[in-house]
Structure formats: C-alpha cells, structure tokens
Chain A
Amino acid sequence: AQKVTQAQTEISVVEKEDVTLDCVYETRDTTYYLFWYKQPPSGELVFLIRRNSFDEQNEISGRYSWNFQKSTSSFNFTITASQVVDSAVYFCALSEVRLRGGADGLTFGKGTHLIIQP
C-alpha cells in the first residue's frame, strides 16, 4: 500500500525567509509519480509539479524548487524568499501506475499549512 507523510502540520515564517516543506512516501512499485499541489484559501487545488520515479533531477521554477531523493523516499519542496501570497496548504501526493495502463488515484499527504507573515 502507498502512503505519503507530511510531518509538518503547520509552518509559520516571516516574509522573505526560505522555507522547506517535507514529504516522505512509501510505495512497493518501481514506477510511480510524485506531485505537489497548492490549496489557497479559495479551496481549489493548484498543480505545482509532477515528477516520475525515474527522474531524480532536482527542479527549480522561479522561487520554487524540489529535491527528489529515492534513497530516502523524499520529495521536499522549498520556497525561496517567501511571500504572503505563498500562504496556503500544500499537499504532496503519490500515484502508482498499474500494468493495465491506468493509475490509482492520487494518495495525498495530510498537507502542510504554510503561513507567511508580513
């Protein structure tokens, strides 16, 4: 069975600080996908990134960066120079790929509530 753990329930930092959100996953499959989603107060889940299990390259997109390490089953997310607009709940998720070509639904972590104080 698959599992995603986001140990940080809530993080509060002052604007312009860097912050890292942790994500640890468990899966028996060798082929899987990892995701990060952002849920602002409006409630809609916004896709941030998808990474497949064969691609361990770290990725940077503006102030966002992701560190994927298969050896520790972690997919951490860092926001550099945080801004108040980054305040949201962030979810890490895992999707396994079935042999028949479909996919299990996303298994989500419980989310990290990030508060950026001005």
Chain B
Amino acid sequence: GAGVSQSPSNKVTEKGKDVELRCDPISGHTALYWYRQSLGQGLEFLIYFQGNSAPDKSGLPSDRFSAERTGGSVSTLTIQRTQQEDSAVYLCASSPVGGGTEAFFGQGTRLTVV
C-alpha cells in the first residue's frame, strides 16, 4: 500500500497479558515514530527510529514498553503485562528522513485493556 499500515486496527486484551502492535512504514522512509493518543493526555511521543542509529526511547512510559525495527522497515511495539491505563490509540508514523520532515501517520491501533 501507499501509506503507513498498522495492525491490528483494534485489540482487546486482558490485564496482565502481553500485546504486540505492528507498523509497516512507507517504503523507503528511514524515520519511524510511535505515538500514543489517549483521552486527557493528547498525543504522546513514545519512540523514534532513524536508519541504523540507536532508537530514541525517551518517551517510553515504563520498562513494560519496548519496540524494535527489523531490517529498517517493519516495527513492532510490545507492551508487557498490560494495565488498564495502557488503553489508548497507538499511532505509527514514518518520514523520508528525520529532522522535522513531514511525518505520515497510520490509522492507529486502538488498544483496550479489560
């Protein structure tokens, strides 16, 4: 596809379970970002990948959150031992380079922890 693709679009999980969210960026985009959008918190930056550089993890809220990007393309965001406060829409974005270029967003994964 031409845009950023995220899967699943919706995920309901029980508290304490682990979840994996997937992001397929636009082909050729070197920069990839994860954000979280929740009521009352707006859009929060989570993590940033740029090429082969070490990722910027400064936005990850706890050590239950991790992300990887394989082969400079697909990224997976993993949340371990989910809590109810993890319920949110998780948005992925990619851009051709970093440094303030336009970021293209996917439609997000809506995570509900029950």
- Where the two chains meet, the residues of A that have a C-beta atom closer than 8 Å to any C-beta of B are 32-33, 35, 37, 42-47, 50, 52, 91, 93, 95, 97, 100-111
Contact = CB atoms under 8 A, between A and B. Distances in A.
Interface string B16-43: 0000000000000001010100000011
Interface of B: 31, 33, 35, 42-48, 50, 53, 56, 58-59, 89, 91, 93, 98-108
10 nearest CB pairs, A to B: A33-B100, A105-B45, A108-B43, A45-B105, A110-B42, A103-B98, A102-B98, A95-B100, A103-B99, A102-B50
Given A102-B48, A102-B53, A102-B56, A108 B42 contact: yes
B100 A111 contact: no
Contact of A109 (B42, B47, B59, B108): B42
B103 A47 contact: yes
A107 B91 CA distance: 14
Nearest to B45: A105
A95 to B, nearest CB: 5
A111 B105 contact: no
B1 to A, nearest CB: 13
A92 B12 CA distance: 30
Contacts of B91: 45
13 contacts: A37-B105, A50-B102, A97-B100, A102-B53, A103-B99, A103-B100, A104-B45, A105-B33, A105-B46, A105-B48, A106-B33, A108-B43, A109-B42
A100 to B, nearest CB: 8
Given A91-B43, A104-B48, A105-B48, A44 B100 contact: no
B6 to A, nearest CB: 10
B59 to A, nearest CB: 6
B100 A32 contact: yes
A9 to B, nearest CB: 11
A102 B58 CA distance: 14
Nearest to B107: A44
Contacts of B103: 47, 106
Contacts of A91: 42-43
